[in-house]
Amino acid sequence: MPELPEVETVRRGLQPVMEGTRIVKVETRRPDLRFPLPERLVETLTGRHVTAIGRRAKYLMMHLEGGPVLICHLGMSGSFRIEEPDGSSTPGVFHHERSKLAAHDHVVFTVENGSGRPSRIVFNDPRRFGFMLLSDEASLDEHPMLAGLGTEPTGNALGGALISDLFRDRAMPLKAALLDQRLIAGVGNIYACEALWRAKLSPRRAAGSIAAKPGKTSQRAERLAKALREVIAEAIVAGGSSLRDHIRTDGSLGYFQHRFKVYDREGEPCPRYECSGVIARMMQGGRSTFYCPVCQR
């Protein structure tokens, strides 16, 4: 489910309910996700105030008073849902299920904002590829899961010049380069496909082939940088993509999936104006790549 836009959507959902609140209870309903849950998870979090909910690439960070940071990754199927207090005026679809937990609800946080009406934040992950790790504010950047991450594909940091520098002399296919979190961090299978279509670049092309010669600029690298920034930004505005299940913390759906141009559209005509191509699917590194063989070169 979650690439950068989905994780950012989750962050924005959690922020108003968690920031500034105190965690009054943490319940773990199994000992492990992808990794064993941190041994001291419950005792470290219980009773502490949440100071901020952050994000880096596809990682969520729950910052706690006094220094601890809970690093969360949603894997393929992880999600958080928020259960507002009974009688809250905030709309939520889970009021009636307040006392029930569903299959694959693995970690339950109860937070208290001072009104005397606690909310529950429930982490659900059927496939358990997600994980939670404890770190500390002071050493967060050096945490093994975060230290090697590349540039965020948001804002102005990612430009043609940087793409050129990152991709120069690399023989790996562009698609593989986009999925390499050490180069650009947060792009997954969907947005890699979509960005390459927008940039009219073949997923097969060697990454190094779009790099500018020293001292020059590369139109292809500029196009790819722009396509990445735009598709990520648009997806965040749309609340991410919801494919097989709900994504947003309030139970509503993101709607960017309706704007996919190539992803999961094998056999459909290429949506580009006056392109006669048909969207194709191939496997690269064990993942499906969707692309237009006609206009993506």
Partner DNA sequence: AAGTGAACCTGAAGGC
Partner DNA sequence: TGCCTTCAGGTTCACT
Q: Is 279 in the site for DNA (CB under 7 A)?
A: no
Interface with DNA in residues 197-256 (CB under 7 A): 240-245, 247, 254
Nearer to DNA, 119 or 242 (CB): 242
Q: Which two tokens stand for residue 29?
A: 């309903």
Q: Is 102 in the site for DNA (CB under 7 A)?
A: no
Number of residues that bind DNA (CB under 7 A): 42
Q: How many Cα neighbours within 13 Å face the side chain of 144?
A: 2
Q: Is 138 in the site for DNA (CB under 7 A)?
A: no
DSSP state at residue 33: S
Catalytic residues: 2-3, 58, 287
Cβ at position 134, least distance to DNA in Å: 17
Q: How many angstroms separate the first and last alpha carbons of the chain?
A: 28
Nearer to DNA, 224 or 247 (CB): 247
Identify the residue among 284, 291, 292, 296 touching DNA (CB under 7 A): 284
Q: How many Cα neighbours within 13 Å face the side chain of 174?
A: 28
Burial class (CB in 10 A: 0-12, 13-18, 19+), 91: exposed
Q: Is 124 in the site for DNA (CB under 7 A)?
A: no
Q: Is 188 in the site for DNA (CB under 7 A)?
A: yes
Cβ at position 2, least distance to DNA in Å: 6
DSSP state at residue 20: T
Count of residues making up the chain:
297
Task: Write each residue from 38 to 77 as x if it is in contact with DNA (CB under 7 A), else as -, in one continuous string.
Answer: -------------------xx--------------x-xxx
Cβ at position 75, least distance to DNA in Å: 5
Q: How many Cα neighbours within 13 Å face the side chain of 209?
A: 12
Q: How many Cα neighbours within 13 Å face the side chain of 86?
A: 4
Q: Find tokens 């992808």 and name the residue.
A: 34
Nearest CA-CA partner of 33 in 5, 61, 73, 2:
73
Nearer to DNA, 40 or 127 (CB): 127
Identify the residue among 12, 95, 143, 287 touching DNA (CB under 7 A): 287
Stretch that binds DNA, among 16-24, 110-118, 176-184, 212-220 (CB under 7 A): 176-184
Question: In angstroms, rounded to a whole number, what is the distance separating the alpha carbons of residues 174 and 164?
Answer: 12
Nearest CA-CA partner of 56 in 127, 148, 126, 136:
148
Q: Is 278 in the site for DNA (CB under 7 A)?
A: no
Identify the residue among 29, 40, 98, 127 touching DNA (CB under 7 A): 127
Report the interface residues with DNA, using CB under 7 A.
1-3, 6, 34, 57-58, 73, 75-77, 103-104, 126-129, 145, 170-173, 176, 179, 181, 188-190, 240-245, 247, 254, 283-288
